Amino acid sequence: MAKEMEFNKREDAMQMLMSKLIQKTTKIYEGGGKKKIEAQHAQGKLTARERIDYLLDKDTQRIEIGTFTADEMYEDVGGCPSGGCVVMIGYVSGRQCIVVANDATVKAGAWFPITAKKNLRAQEIAMENRLPIIYLVDSAGVFLPFQDEVFPDKEHFGRMFRNNAHMSSQGIVQIAAIMGSCVAGGAYLPIMSDEAMIVDKTGTIFLAGSYLVKAAIGEDIDNETLGGATTQCEISGVTDYKCANDQDCLDRIKKIFDKIGKYTEAGYDRVEAKAPAKDPKEIYGLMPESREKPYDMHDIIDRLVDNSDFEEYKADYGKSILCGLARIEGWAVGIIANQRKIVKSKKGEMQIGGVIYSDSADKAARFVMNCNQKKIPLLFLQDVTGFMVGSRSEHGGIIKDGAKLVNAMANSVVPKFTVIVGNSYGAGNYAMCGKAYDPRLIVAWPTAQIAVMGGEQAAKTLLQIQVSTLKAKGQVITPEDEKKLLDTIMDRYAKQLSPYYAASRLWVDEIIDPLDTRKWVSMGIEAANHAPITRPYNVGVLQT
């Protein structure tokens, strides 16, 4: 009875988190608001999401990258929902691809700093996986108040055109549709793609619009004559296809994709998919409502993998990390997961859940190397507070063993995927393939937290620093003062721990329903299968 009550309590807590996820997603889907959507329709144009819905094959799976981009950012200028663009991985004419669509309901599709980062992430996914990419262009260009954060640096706006050129040289298909404004430097994106089409009367493309032309050289000309569909298709030859409307334009893309040749597969193993034998919905009642409580990661894995069949590697050694082989939607995967259950080490010592010990790091490093040898993609399930500290760990070489794991993981040639199910703190984030280590996709459950350390530890550390600073200035600090300081620090740090804070800055690609994990991993491996491995696996120097 007590076990059932605990399950229900955890399930209720997860449902609350899911409710917040759904509410925020629904709001974001409105883009710039209903009035802006109506204005788009009045011009005979579909919205960014409507364009993607029309383009992608019906009744097929899709995953969105960066729904929560810019969440609670740029509020002083009205916000920038989803970073002003929509990015989706799906299927067009049966071919898996990635679609990037400017959302003209958000500041006329203008580019904020985070918009550039999101577009570069989409191109990164296309390049890593050799996925065809489709650009649905409808943008007023750089958001001028932030031009210094968008224009000149290496990972800014111009990097997109460099990527256009590199993808073209690598034979990665790029198709662009000019479905609204396309101006200034942004005009290079569609024209550096393989093929470009433009919608008559609503699409325009030029280096400078009519107002700037008038200011620069005194010429009076309207935008349609300057760079509309008739001009660019019949006079300049800049664009390849003139389309009657949005639907006609998107239909032409479908016809192009219908004729693309087959790709060379990387060769990751896949058999017929099987549903987990244990109900995935039970994950809701298995994840603790408090991150201080332990749980058995085996229970989570059993509800993620095909037939709940997990072949564990070195099960009795290094128990704070679980390693093993399984299948997800038929794809072979090697799973590396933090164990939050309190376990005994090989020496009979109790090990804290979610902490990486020397033996666990050693085991995981060897397992990563084995998966690279066998050409098996890697899936990291993160719920980690960091590496074990203290004299015993330091004398046992915890830094050396941690470095072995980081080395083996960082040099991996098979694709890596990361799901943050709980904590993701400090060096544990790194060792378990955080964003800095090139996971092909990285997502978080609503239960995730990402930071250099846990909230309470960080707050107390920051408090000590602030109190010492104030005392050094001669200020008297009472216990009440300390409590106020601590509460202020805790509030600020708690906001930064939120998965939405991470997702808004693209530290993770998406916050997902745990029940969608299998879909994300499956579509991720399918994408990775487009890109054959081109280099041998070599970890370089390992301290032994």
**Per-residue CA distances from 230 to 42, 177, 202, 539 (Å):** 22, 15, 11, 56
Return the closest-CA partner of residue 239 out of 133, 109, 137, 116: 137
The pLDDT of residue 387 is 85
Amino acid (one-letter) located at 72: E
The pLDDT of residue 384 is 95
The pLDDT of residue 421 is 97
The pLDDT of residue 278 is 98
Q: What is the dihedral of CA 63, 66, 67, 69, to 10 degrees?
A: 180
- Which residues are registered as beta bridge partners of 380? 336, 418
The pLDDT of residue 376 is 98
CB of 172 within 8 A of CB of 166?
no
The pLDDT of residue 210 is 86
Between CA 205 and CA 211 the distance in angstroms is 14
Between CA 408 and CA 364 the distance in angstroms is 9
- Residue 538: partners with Cβ closer than 8 Å, 6 or more residues away: 411
Return the closest-CA partner of residue 250 out of 198, 205, 201, 206: 198
Beta-strand ranges (E) seen in 248-306 are: none
The pLDDT of residue 386 is 85
Tokens of 477: 């600090």
Between CA 45 and CA 181 the distance in angstroms is 12
Chain centroid, CA 175 distance in Å: 23
Count other Cβ atoms within 10 Å, centred on residue 93: 16
Kindly give the parts of the chain with pLDDT less than 70: 1, 345-346, 348-349, 395, 453-463, 467, 543-544
Between CA 193 and CA 116 the distance in angstroms is 17
Beta-strand ranges (E) seen in 353-435 are: 355-356, 378-384, 386-387, 416-425
CB of 426 within 8 A of CB of 455?
no
Residue with tokens 């984030």: 429
What SS3 state is found at 520?
Answer: helix
Return the closest-CA partner of residue 176 out of 149, 203, 157: 203
What SS3 state is found at 85?
Answer: strand
Chain centroid, CA 262 distance in Å: 27
The pLDDT of residue 516 is 98
The pLDDT of residue 474 is 77
The pLDDT of residue 301 is 98
Q: What is the DSSP string of 198-220?
A: EETTT-EEESS-HHHHHHHH---
CB of 32 within 8 A of CB of 105?
yes
CB of 185 within 8 A of CB of 137?
no
CB of 196 within 8 A of CB of 240?
yes
How many residues belong to the chain? 544
Amino acid (one-letter) located at 345: S
- Could you tell me if residue 276 is left (phi over 0), alpha (psi between -120 and 50 degrees) or otherwise beta? beta
Q: What angle do CA 462, 463, 464 make, to 5 degrees?
A: 90
Tokens of 8: 């229900």
- Name the CA radius of gyration of the chain, rounded: 25
The pLDDT of residue 44 is 95
Q: What is the 3-state secondary structure (H, E, C) of 218-251?
A: CCCCCHHHHHCHHHHHHHCCCCCEEECCHHHHHH
